[in-house]
Amino acid sequence: MAGHQTYEEQKALVFKGLMLLGAITIVEVVVALLAKGHLIHGVKFAEGFGHYLYMLLMIGFSLYKAYFIIFFFMHMAYEVRGLALSVLLPTALLVWAIIAFFQEGSSWGARRELIKEKNEELVKPVPNNRPQGYVLPGVYGRTNG
Amino acid sequence: MAETSVAHAHETNEHDHQDDAAWEGGREPFRASYGKLMMWYFLLSDAFTFAGFLIAYGALRFSMPTWPEPDFVFASFPFVQAHWPLIFVTFMTFVLIFSSVTMVRAVQEGHRENRQGVVFWMILTILGGATFLSSQAYEWTTLIVKENMTVSQNPFGRHIADGIYLNADGSEAKRTDGSPLEFKKGESYLLHMHDGKVTGLAFHDTKQSGEKMIQHEGTRLKYTTGAYAGQVRNAEMGPKAFGALFFFITGFHGFHVFSGVLFLSIIMINAAGGVYAARRNGYEMVEKIGLYWHFVDLVWVFVFLVFYLL
């Protein structure tokens, strides 16, 4: 494996990997601190639309780091195509898992909010002399109230 | 590029399996040794386990009206009293990157059948793993002992609306300069506990620059906006699930690092003793534990993303 590379080339790749992963991590943290207003007082962009942009940027950086680790540190780039596909393709299932479970999570939240809202709603007091529940037709003379 | 490496892989694997004629079928599936291929499939299944955990984190987070802010929760640093958001965990990330890089070097030296090189770089890798574990022990200790977060309790909350802090006697809290001590929707606080009871809270004063924490006695506050506008309420605990998710997911990752350090040590001792030199297969065992170790780093990339960045 990695047989087409000389020893010097291999060592150069290791150094490149160290620099790349280190640089991306530093950029990630600096952007995170800047976005959330910790670096410059009063400057904060992770709000509203900016928050989506921020999340997209962070996910992009992480996916690139993952790609670099798998393909160059774990030598996936030098394996047979079939091996790479048999390991990488199944992870595509996770795309649906993420969509489905996040959707489900939002729905739990919405229901919980609804229940809380209904619990706090004021209910009109019902007079005591009125029978409650289902009233058999004809028993109290009237079927409706 | 693939063609040349395939030819080479075939060549090295021939003496990997002198005894068992390439998995008994005469030709190796995917031109990889059995052990290496199975390591890849084990890592794939492990990736699904971690993905399941992280997706559960996302689903629970989406279901909550508020969620703790990572740059507020993860801000302690050893020997420093200041509030340094994300700095310590960045250090931990660098430790893992360095140990991944030394692992690549160990594998490369293995291909050259250089026993001393393999042992040297593996020792550095083990040291990196041990440093990471110690850092995690510090992080957990701070959260559990100092900040009272457990699997069933999360004192890190966020305000659901704008409002003002109240003193213990019910009057509105003021800064030293006399201005009212207000908070905005989404700002974080940490409930202080004493003997199992909530006694007060700590928060950042966003009106002032710098990461200064304000310690406030009592947890009463008055909302000025939202559904509870005008009401006096107590600051509540944050979502309980956060503590359980944090300890289980980082714990599961830490357990991987721990078992990685154990296996690295065993293989390093074997390598030093000449076990793999005798096999003359380019230290394949070092390559397999290398795959596992890079995977641990790979998982951390996503744990770092989900817990600390998003």
CB B175 within 8 A of CB B186: no
Are B175 and B298 members of one domain?
no
Predicted TM-score of the model (pTM): 0.86
**Residue B199 CA to chain centroid, in angstroms?**
30
For chain B, what percentages of helix, strand and coil (3-state, to nearest 5) are there? 55, 15, 30
* CA pair distance A25, B48, nearest whole angstrom: 24
| Angle, CA B259 vertex, CA B257 and CA B263 arms, to 5° | 115
Assigned domain for B265 exists: yes
Residue B219: domain span: 156-237
CB B77 within 8 A of CB B84: yes
pLDDT of residue B81: 75
Of B144, B160, B162, the closest CA to residue B152 belongs to: B144
Q: How far is A124 from chain B (nearest CA, A)?
A: 21
Mean pLDDT in chain B? Answer: 88
Nearest chain B residue to A112 by CA: give it.
B63
Which of B43, B297, B305 is nearest residue A62 as measured by Cβ atoms?
B305
CB A35 within 8 A of CB A45: yes
Assigned domain for B34 exists: no
Q: Residue B247 pLDDT more than 70?
A: yes
* CA pair distance B81, B212, nearest whole angstrom: 10
Assigned domain for B233 exists: yes
* CA pair distance A98, A56, nearest whole angstrom: 15
Please state which of the ranges B222-226, B252-256, B298-302 shows the lowest mean pLDDT.
B222-226
A window 103-142, beta carbon within 8 A of B: 104-109, 112-113
pLDDT of residue B7: 46
Assigned domain for B65 exists: no
pLDDT of residue B229: 84
Interface membership of A62 toward B (CB under 8 Å) = yes
**Domain locations in chain A as residue ranges:** 1-79, 80-119
* CA pair distance A33, A25, nearest whole angstrom: 12
Nearest chain A residue to B301 by CA: give it.
A62
Strand partners, B184: none
Q: How far is B202 from chain A (nearest CA, A)?
A: 17
**Mutate: best of B14, B66, B71, partner A, most A CBs <10 A:** B71
Nearest chain B residue to A9 by CA: give it.
B108
**pLDDT, tens only, B277-295:** 888 888 999 999 999 999 9
Compute the count of residue pairs across chains A and B with CB atoms less than 8 Å apart: 158
Are B135 and B256 members of one domain?
yes
CATH number at residue B275: 1.20.120.80
**Residue A33 CA to chain centroid, in angstroms?**
20
Give one DSSP letter per residue of A92-105, joined into a string.
GHHHHHHHHHHHHH
Q: Residue B276 pLDDT more than 50?
A: yes
Are B74 and B146 members of one domain?
yes
Nearest chain A residue to B298 by CA: give it.
A66
Mean pLDDT of A22-42: 89
Please state which of the ranges B104-118, B134-148, B166-180 shows the lowest mean pLDDT.
B166-180
Which of A18, A59, A74 is nearest residue B97 as measured by Cβ atoms?
A18
Whether residue B210 and residue A106 make contact (CB cut-off 8 A), yes or no, is: no
* CA pair distance B266, B277, nearest whole angstrom: 15
**Residue B156 CA to chain centroid, in angstroms?**
18
Q: Residue A145 pLDDT more than 50?
A: no
Q: Residue B15 pLDDT more than 80?
A: no
Are B284 and B142 members of one domain?
yes
Q: How far is CA A19 from CA A24, A25, A26, B94, in A?
A: 9, 10, 10, 11
Assigned domain for B9 exists: no
Domain boundary (B237, B271, B292) is at B237
* CA pair distance A25, A19, nearest whole angstrom: 10
DSSP strand pairing (B232-234 vs B197-204): unpaired
CB A36 within 8 A of CB B43: no
Are B247 and B138 members of one domain?
yes
DSSP A91: G
Are B228 and B250 members of one domain?
no
Which of A4, A59, A66 is nearest residue B298 as measured by Cβ atoms?
A66
Q: How far is B195 from chain A (nearest CA, A)?
A: 31
Assigned domain for B39 exists: no
Are B144 and B267 members of one domain?
yes
Place of tokens 């304000």: B214
> How many domains does chain B contain in total?
2
**pLDDT, tens only, A85-134:** 999 999 999 999 999 999 999 999 999 999 988 888 877 776 666 666 66
Nearest chain A residue to B103 by CA: give it.
A73
Which tops the pLDDT comparison, B199 or B95? Answer: B95
Q: Helices B34-62 and B284-303, interaxial angle, to 10°? A: 10
Are B161 and B143 members of one domain?
no
Look up residue B241 and give its two tokens. Answer: 């699930």
Q: How far is B219 from chain A (nearest CA, A)?
A: 23
Percentage of the residues of chain B whose pLDDT score is greater than 70:
91
Look up residue B116 and give its two tokens. Answer: 């001393």
pLDDT of residue A135: 62
Q: Side by side, which strands form the sheet with B182-183?
A: B182-183, B163-165, B220-223, B232-234
Chain B residues whose beta carbon lies within 8 Å of the beta carbon of residue A10: 108
* CA pair distance A83, A100, nearest whole angstrom: 28
Q: φ, ψ for residue B211 (rounded to 5)?
A: -95, 50
pLDDT of residue B10: 47
pLDDT of residue B17: 46
**Mutate: best of A44, A79, A91, A94, partner B, most B CBs <10 A:** A79
* CA pair distance B181, B174, nearest whole angstrom: 5
DSSP strand pairing (B213-217 vs B232-234): unpaired
Task: Name residue A112's amino acid.
Answer: R
